[in-house]
Structure 1
Amino acid sequence: MNNNQNSNGIINGERITENIYLCPDGKYRWIYEFPMLKNPVILFTVFKVLGMSAAIIAIFALLVDLIEDGSITPATDPDELMIGFWVILFFIGVVILSYIILAGMYGWKYMVLFEMDEEKVVHIQMQSQFKKTEAIGWLTAMVGIASGRAGAIGTGILAATRNTSTSDFINVRKVIGNRWMHVIKVNKLLDHNQIYVEPSDYDFVFRYISDRCVNAKVRKG
């Protein structure tokens, strides 16, 4: 097989790892796809965010109690504790149900296109109706756009992008690797990004990102 093309002859670029290509415009590109019910990394992220929000609300309530009464009075009434327990269970159930519904809307798979260069990494979520081969065609169109050779089909596929998240390396404060979950977290102060990679590509991407995030604390998982 030609080292400058993927197995379908669609991506025209230098193959760096099993799934990552260095394209003519100087950017690394790869597509990652995983079943949302088997890999719960997104669900864990949602629970983490909600947990932090709940903790902030609880701390605020305790401060209000301290200001008004001069002391913090813990809830000792069994009925109050039971109500709180059921409220927590209810919200956990709502989050899980919402995640399942979202996974169904995405066709049970989460598919992402990544672009990476010397300055940033871009996380581009694709619509659920795109098959992987169509997404690769989208990727090829992006290379054409960057090279000034995109056709009408590139414009149509470009319009199908659902969500994009960009992390400029200079602004990243934490790089956290999790090889088991196939994810590298690239966190700015108020914006968190998750970069998904196959195990065969993990070391290359983690090293590339961590070497360029000069202001970040790096934790290799």
Structure 2
Amino acid sequence: MDTNIIEKAQWTNSIPIFKNLIILKQLGIAVGLPFGLVITFILISSGWSKDSLYAAALIITALLLAYLLIKVVYGGKYEAEFAVDEKGIYCRTEEKQASKSRLLNGLTVLAGIFSGNPAVSGAGLLAKSKNRIFIPWTNVSKIKYIEKHFVILINGGFAEKITLFCTRENYGEIERIIKGKTNA
């Protein structure tokens, strides 16, 4: 690992949420799998009763409304800023999109407080904490290069993950910098 070389690269990228295979896979694991299991459990445990079908329809409707909200509020895109430098790897939501997220997250926290539902408030607070992520080089534990999609997945310590959405033009440079800093 050559720490004498100080390199820095910064870029922004606009990633279509519902067209990017990496994001769709992550959404499938984070959202589709849990909700799919809940729906399956409800339907099987109730013997496919009318009430369980209604509950499943409500869950699916909520997911469709979330999809529409993302399309309307964010234009269906994840706008992000990335950087790698001598200290580590940075990812943050672009400021205009981050402002929208802060507003929605704040409304979620308030909705949870006023409805007496701490889980909703907790979800809003948790979402607020993910607008900026930094992983120092010393914390990098796993790297996966997906050159075909110009993506580099970085794992750090517990719950430290960054997906670098590179551009076609800068992918090679970013991969070289990361390999130089981590020998991975």
Same fold (TM over 0.5): yes
**Greater share of residues in helix:** 2
Give 1:196 deviation, angstroms. Answer: 0.7
Distance 1:167 1:118, change over 3 A: same
Q: Name the residue aligned to 2:72.
A: 104
Does 2:99 correspond to 1:118?
Answer: no
Query: In the alignment, is the contact (CA less than 8 A) between 1:123 and 1:165 conserved in 2?
Result: yes
Q: Name the residue aligned to 2:169.
A: 200
Q: Give per-residue Cα distances to partners, 1:200-220, cap 9 Å, x unaligned.
A: 221221232133235xxx5xx
Give 1:183 deviation, angstroms. Answer: 1.8
Q: Name the residue aligned to 2:160.
A: 191
- The answer for unaligned runs of 5 or more in structure 2 is 1-5, 39-43, 99-129
Query: In the alignment, is the contact (CA less than 8 A) between 2:79 and 2:97 conserved in 1?
Result: no
- The answer for unaligned runs of 5 or more in structure 1 is 1-24, 58-75, 131-161
Q: Name the residue aligned to 1:173.
A: 141
TM-score, normalization by structure 1 = 0.49
Q: Name the residue aligned to 2:30.
A: 49
Query: In the alignment, is the contact (CA less than 8 A) between 1:105 and 1:128 conserved in 2?
Result: no
Distance 1:42 1:128, change over 3 A: farther
Count matched residues.
Answer: 144
Q: Give per-residue Cα distances to partners, 1:43-96, cap 9 Å, x unaligned.
A: 431322346768xx9xxxxxxxxxxxxxxxxxx88926xx99997786566445
Greater radius of gyration (CA): 1
Query: In the alignment, is the contact (CA less than 8 A) between 2:79 and 2:93 conserved in 1?
Result: yes
Distance 1:125 1:180 in 2: 23
Equivalent residue letter for 2:66: S
Equivalent residue letter for 2:13: Y
Q: Name the residue aligned to 2:16.
A: 35
Q: Name the residue aligned to 1:6.
A: none
Q: Which has the higher contact order (CA 8 A, sep 6+)?
A: 2
SS at match of 2:144: strand
TM-score, normalization by structure 2 = 0.57
SS at match of 1:184: strand
Does 2:144 correspond to 1:163?
Answer: no
